[in-house]
A and B are shown apart, each in its own frame.
Chain A
Amino acid sequence: DAKTTQPPSMDCAEGRAANLPCNHSTISGNEYVYWYRQIHSQGPQYIIHGLKNNETNEMASLIITEDRKSSTLILPHATLRDTAVYYCIVRVQADYKLSFGAGTTVTVRA
């Protein structure tokens, strides 16, 4: 039983913001939202995580709704190198069993 739901694929234009949605309607109060990406069969790369506040780092921004049932990962200025599979994961900090679903395949087009 999946904890998160993501669209299977999406396209975006180079230089524009890419907004990647994730639904996690059954998230519990102590579960964090994590985002990873995997570029062309390389090992996944951590992007960002948050609990309830919005977060920003050098790679992306994470917007979590007030009820925490969904979130959006924002790549502010997508480049061709951002083409990847993006995984949204919910996890209790102490949980070792981090599971990756199918993710969203994002294709950035010139």
Chain B
Amino acid sequence: NAGVTQTPKFQVLKTGQSMTLQCAQDMNHNSMYWYRQDPGMGLRLIYYSASEGTTDKGEVPNGYNVSRLNKREFSLRLESAAPSQTSVYFCASNPQGTGELFFGEGSRLTVL
């Protein structure tokens, strides 16, 4: 099992460009999450999907959209990137009803 796979691992964008971060899990988990982590800070929840077909806002959703494409995949889209969105983005998943999250390796995004 690969666990949680994120692509791309690194990306550099210019202000105003758009991009989508992809996340896939092969553990048959119901719930999936997108977090961002700024230097020296903890993780902040952007969006989550409790189950296939549902998405909800986390702490810092502004500037992002998400799609739960199917049970395996949960994508995060930046429509018009801003320098404040420079961060490391982590995708996670867990079986519904547990707090044991499984994280991907992160996607490092720089917006110039």
Could you say which of A44, A45, A93 contacts B43, with CB atoms under 8 Å apart?
A44
Could you say which of B41, B56, B98, B101 contacts A44, with CB atoms under 8 Å apart?
B101
Interface size on A, residues (CB 8 A): 23
| B53 part of interface (Cβ distance < 8 Å) | no
Q: In chain A, what residue has the closest Cβ to B100? A: A46
Could you say which of A32, A43, A45, A103 contacts B99, with CB atoms under 8 Å apart?
A32
| B109 part of interface (Cβ distance < 8 Å) | no
Mark A71-110 against chain B: 1 for CB-CB distance below 8 A, else 0: 0000000000000000101010110111111110000000
A43 touches B106 (CB 8 A): yes
Chain B residues near A36: list those with CB within 8 A.
101
Chain B residues near A41: list those with CB within 8 A.
37, 88, 106
Could you say which of B42, B45, B103 contacts A45, with CB atoms under 8 Å apart?
B103
Interface centre among A43, A100, A101, A103, by most chain B C-beta atoms within 10 angstroms, is: A43
B43 touches A100 (CB 8 A): yes
Q: A49-B99, A97-B48 are in contact. Are A43 and B41 (CB under 8 A)?
A: no
Chain A residues near B99: list those with CB within 8 A.
32, 34, 49, 89, 91, 93, 98
Which chain B residues have a beta carbon within 8 Å of chain A's beta carbons? 4, 31, 33, 35, 37, 41-45, 48, 50, 56, 58-59, 88, 90, 92, 97-106
16 interchain pairs (CB within 8 A)? A43-B106, A44-B92, A45-B103, A46-B100, A46-B102, A89-B99, A91-B99, A93-B98, A94-B97, A96-B31, A97-B45, A97-B48, A98-B99, A99-B45, A100-B44, A101-B42
Q: A43-B92, A98-B45 are in contact. List 16 more A-B contacts (CB 8 A).
A: A34-B99, A42-B105, A43-B4, A43-B90, A43-B103, A43-B106, A44-B103, A87-B42, A94-B97, A96-B31, A97-B59, A98-B101, A99-B42, A100-B35, A100-B42, A102-B42
